[in-house]
Amino acid sequence: MSSMNWSGVFPAATTQFNPDLTIDIDASQQVLDALIRDGVHGLVVLGTCGENNSLEPDEKRTLLKAAVEVVAGRVPIIVGVSELTTTRAAAFAKDAETLGANALMALPAMVYVPTEAELEAHFRTVAQASGLPIMLYNNPPAYRAAITLGVLTRLADEPTIVAVKESAPDTRRFTDLARAFGERFILMAGLDDVALEGLLLGARGWISGLTSAFPQESVALVAAVDRGDLEEARRIYRWFMPLLHLDAEHDLVQSIKLAETIMGRGTEHVRLPRLPLAGTRRAQVVAMVEEAAATRPVLASAAAA
């Protein structure tokens, strides 16, 4: 666990598909490699943007193996653990360790809405299935299960549960978590359009969706916060905000993939039940991305060069 660096920008990378919707391993590796070359500090694979729940079990393992191969230790890889049952989640956690992941992002079991005791049991079982450090993913609007302070208190005795990805839209959670647990859990900002607020309130890093389309600006935003240049951070954030709002919408995966495509970084192919954006919504997102691309801020690193 000591080799895992939780600071900086970790894009929630997309899974790339061929036109027939089989996984395009080469394209998926190219997306990851390009993000690393643009300066991100780590990668999340098989998260929501990676369409985890649209993949077959063997596909998840194949994709993780390919990610480990192309990343080649340059940055940490966090892999999503998102399954219908706790048994499947624990099995994947164990396999992820064998395949070379650096950490796990554990979600509640899908579909079923658990009690707090059931949620605790799920996370505890996943934690005990491997030796990898675990980030719990709190996103009540999406998964209908809140990782409450009570659940975290009871899980604090699990040594591998080390971080919380906080994606609740209420930024008071960062302060409540810091007050309740001090340094026990590393906090990561997980919702793009409150990311700056999270970073200012104690998040060590940002698990980001729109970084997949605009990685350099994302890295510059966090760098500005780290050096205390809040004017620069606000300037980038305000430019970025129309796109960051997309991360909070139900069609975030299609929007992010469309943004990637416009920026020359991937394709729009998504698996059912998702469909690529169409009609008015597609035109709206295209216009937003094109506006952002046309007004990209001059970054401090570029100006210095």
User: CA 70, CA 58: separation in Å to the nearest integer?
Assistant: 19
Query: DSSP character for 298?
Result: P
| Residue 60 bears catalytic tag | no
Cα distances from 239 to residues 42, 212, 242, in angstroms, run 24, 16, 8
Q: What distance in Å separates the CA atoms of residue 146 and residue 10, rounded to the nearest whole number? A: 23
Q: What distance lies between CA 255 and its chain's CA centroid? A: 15
Active-site residue (options: 137, 143, 237, 257): 137
The single residue of 60, 65, 112, 165 carrying the catalytic annotation is 165
Please say whether the beta carbons of 247 and 285 come within 8 A: no
Would you list the DSSP string of 151-194? HHHHHTT-TTEEEEEE--S-THHHHHHHHHHTTSSEEEE--GGG
User: What is the enclosing helix (H) or strand (E) of 286?
Assistant: helix 279-294
Active site residue 165: yes
H/E stretch holding 105 reads strand 103-106
C-alpha pair distances (Å), 243 with each of 6, 12, 107, 169, 293: 24, 15, 25, 16, 11
Measured CA to CA, the distance from residue 182 to residue 96 in angstroms comes to 29
Residues identified as active-site: 137, 165
